[in-house]
Amino acid sequence: MIGDLGARDATALAEMVAAGEVSATELLDAALAAVEARNPAINAVVQMQEGAARKVIAQGLPRGPFRGVPFLLKDLGAEAVDYPGHNGSRLLHDTRWTRDSAIWERIRATGVVCFGRTTSPEGGIGAATEAAVYGGPTRNPWNLDHTSGGSSGGAGAAVAAGIVAIAHGSDGGGSVRIPASSCGLFGFKPTRARLPDGPFVGEGWAGMAIDGFLTRSVRDTAAMLDACEGADLGAPYWAPPLGRGHMAAISRPVAPLRVGIVEGTFTGEPIHPEVAEAVQAAGRLLEDLGHAVEPVTVGADIAGMMRAWTDIVAVGTALGIRRALKGRPLTGDLVEGVGRGACAHAETLHPTRYLEAVGAIHAFGREMAAVFAPETGSGPDILLSATLAEPPAKVGRFSHTTEDYVGYRMGPQGIFAYSPFCAVFNASGQPAASLPLGWSREGLPIGVHLAAAFGRDEQLIGLCADMERAAPWAGRRAPMAG
């Protein structure tokens, strides 16, 4: 059964439960056995709640699209009464909540059986998952010397290792798409405010952060997005309404589109040749599917966006840390180096800088909208690039021990140099996805990135499904997944 769990997507597992071929209890037992067998090597699953999982099965599961399917919540946000968390931090160790978040209420209604959480870096501000609270780094199931990505690195590792077929994540600067690229999975960031944030926050990182999912198939993501989409009560803003929904969008081929390909970074720097090769191959695949693919230049202030992102996240990180400290000193036994550095950087900013940075992000969104310009037909419908500028990094490269927060993010060997594509679409609010279409010569996954105009989630996920059908990736699995 462990092998079956790792080989099938969540939709197929739910179909097995519905047909009486396997029970929810048997799937849970298989997932727990997979944790015991595989998690010691990757350190991805934490805060195990087997009792809560067995209780929901005994009470009767909702008849949603994933009834009986084992599931894991990211240990960052996704507040849930039955699933305490550390939020990636020793400072927030064993945090408990008095009510459930809107996103968890909607996920739970799909019928999943949640039995724990997955690791995340402290504050969710890294492209690797190596938080001290978990006692060591989270490793990539494809090669244990490499990172599984961040900040949803535990979710990516758990799915790639075949522990679960679908896991919750979140994405404020690529935190779903980076693990998807690193672990050979599908990761989709919806349009800003497509999913609910409440009731514990009004928005994440000035609207740049949003929940998401790590999956092995496009259809699993589509079904979960349909189940969870829409603003919650009191939301400050919401995304443009969908047409027929994500599942309907993947049921038929997408009409021919204009695809703009970027073979280096958006600012013209070269990327790793094996990654560039994967982007070029994706361009040829899109041409074979009938789409027009042409080189394009992204004329937007990427450097200014990165500075604004860095300042906004520093202020948000400092706010969360100061609130949790409750007057205690900011010491290394409570907060890791990057978090302390973010607090120090936030203290250097003028009181007006936060709103100035938010304004810069909004201006950048308008610049990116002009790159696409779908209403006038003057730009591409889809922007194709790499997800990361190189294959998955070695463990330790993005350790949180440094206190140089700005260098960690913006330095020549920092996060933005490694991941120069993803945060662009958190800032603009546009939908974006990473598809596992490339592989390095060492056998490591390489993600290819697609983005669409604001609100065009259905167009984007439909194209992703077309590419999955044309170049299936389900047959490639990490060695430990069986």
Pairing of strands 258-261, 382-386: parallel
Mean pLDDT, residues 406-414 taken together: 97
Mean pLDDT, residues 74-103 taken together: 97
Mean pLDDT, residues 281-301 taken together: 97
The pLDDT, as a whole number, for residue 5 is 63
What single letter denotes the amino acid at residue 149?
G
419 is catalytic: no
> Each residue of 143-194: pLDDT tens digit?
999 999 999 999 999 999 999 999 999 999 999 999 999 999 999 999 999 9
Closest listed residue to residue 391, CA positions, set 448, 444, 434, 450: 444
The pLDDT, as a whole number, for residue 361 is 98
In angstroms, rounded to a whole number, what is the distance separating the alpha carbons of residues 81 and 103?
13
pTM of the model: 0.98
Please pick, among 89, 101, 175, 182, the residue that the annotation labels catalytic.
175
**289-to-115, 265, 280, 450 alpha-carbon distances in Å:** 40, 25, 14, 15
Mean pLDDT, residues 376-397 taken together: 94
Q: Does the pLDDT at position 376 exceed 60?
A: yes
Pairing of strands 382-386, 292-295: unpaired
The pLDDT, as a whole number, for residue 191 is 98
Banded model confidence at residue 482, pLDDT cuts 50, 70, 90: confident
Please pick, among 101, 151, 385, 440, the residue that the annotation labels catalytic.
151
**Helix 10-18 and helix 24-42: axis angle, to 10°?**
150
**By mean pLDDT, which of 69-73, 175-179, 317-321, 373-377 is the weakest?**
373-377
The answer to whether the Cα torsion of 241, 243, 244, 249 is positive or negative is: negative
**139-to-32, 147, 428 alpha-carbon distances in Å:** 19, 5, 31
Banded model confidence at residue 401, pLDDT cuts 50, 70, 90: very high
> Each residue of 228-259: pLDDT tens digit?
999 999 999 999 999 999 999 999 999 999 99
The answer to whether the Cα torsion of 467, 470, 474, 479 is positive or negative is: negative
Say if residue 151 is preceded by a cis peptide, omega within 30 of 0. Answer: yes
151 is catalytic: yes
Q: Does the pLDDT at position 25 exceed 70?
A: yes
State the fold for domain 2-302+356-481: Amidase signature (AS) enzymes (3.90.1300)
Closest listed residue to residue 221, CA positions, set 166, 282, 277, 281: 166
Mean pLDDT, residues 222-227 taken together: 98
Query: Do the beta carbons of residue 57 and residue 24 sit within 8 Å?
Result: yes
Mean pLDDT, residues 280-284 taken together: 98
385 is catalytic: no
Give the three-class secondary structure for 146: strand
The pLDDT, as a whole number, for residue 2 is 54
The pLDDT, as a whole number, for residue 61 is 98
Q: What is the DSSP letter of 316?
A: H
**By mean pLDDT, which of 172-181, 273-282, 366-375, 447-456 is the weakest?**
366-375
Q: What is the dihedral of CA 179, 7, 194, 259, to 10 degrees?
A: 70
What single letter denotes the amino acid at residue 102?
A
Rounded mean pLDDT of the chain? 96
Banded model confidence at residue 4, pLDDT cuts 50, 70, 90: low
**376-to-16, 64, 338, 373, 449 alpha-carbon distances in Å:** 47, 40, 44, 6, 24
Banded model confidence at residue 3, pLDDT cuts 50, 70, 90: low
The pLDDT, as a whole number, for residue 373 is 75
